[in-house]
Structure 1
Amino acid sequence: MKQLFDDLNNILPNSPGGKSSKWEILTKAIEHIRGLKGVEIQARRDIDRYRSDAEFANRLKDENERMRLEIQRMYDEMRRINPQATHIYGEHTNNIARQQPAHPHAPNGVATGMPGVLPPPGQHQHWAAPPAPQQSSAMQGVEYNHAQPYDHR
């Protein structure tokens, strides 16, 4: 028994190797165990909270991926309906546009921004955008069928 009390006394914090009574050793051991139980309870709470946070993050990741796929499909459909427009509305569609091949009818192989390209400044000629492709009856955006050049005076 004496050896067991000495071993217990040696592994307890704040009493390594010092001479202590059996009562002191047992009291310190009980206090240490209670402290460890509190740490264990807090660790379990933290684990539960981290597990919940990880599940929430995974749900958000899944939702984010579904939204990215939906944006990609919408972008592809808009390009099919109106291939002359870039359809860039933010960072994600800009990244998608960079991954897409340029429209074959765009100047210098670059996708154009609007359904027509404005003439260079200073050239005052009558200019009109090319006719818009056939679209559904749903409103798709502004059309400039009879555009007049802007007077830069």
Structure 2
Amino acid sequence: MLLKSMMAGLAVAVIAAGTATAAECTLPPEAQAGKTVSNLCKSCHVFEADKPSRPTGPNLHDVYGRKAGTRTDFTKYSEGMQGASAAGVVWTDDKISEYVADPKAFLVKVNGKEVKHAMIYQLKDEQKRKDVIAFLKAIKDKPECN
């Protein structure tokens, strides 16, 4: 009886350990650095797959590879972002890097004119932009990584 109880306890411990391991996420160094940089974005955005967009900005968990301005649970896209969407902008390495470096210049370029926009933060450091992009790519299909 004691052996049976010990075996049952061991089985539960093994299953629990396996579950914890499955839920963990190991990011490559560049993506981990990007996760740290992305903390600067969290006043307006979220990165968790299971969370809705904030009133101030869309959820960015699956932004990589998505057409601009198409997150369905975010309804406050600026005129500039709506224009980027109409122009067919898809969030690739180059587009994300250009946008976060200077959102105003990017939106003027894709819209062909000055437009209203909400993104005022600029990430001028090229390596930090690369790190954020690595993070966005890493979390896209991994809900456990955010």
TM-score (normalised: structure 1): 0.29
Which has the higher relative contact order, 1 or 2, with Cα contacts under 8 A spaced 6 or more apart? 2
User: Which structure would you say has the larger Rg?
Assistant: 1
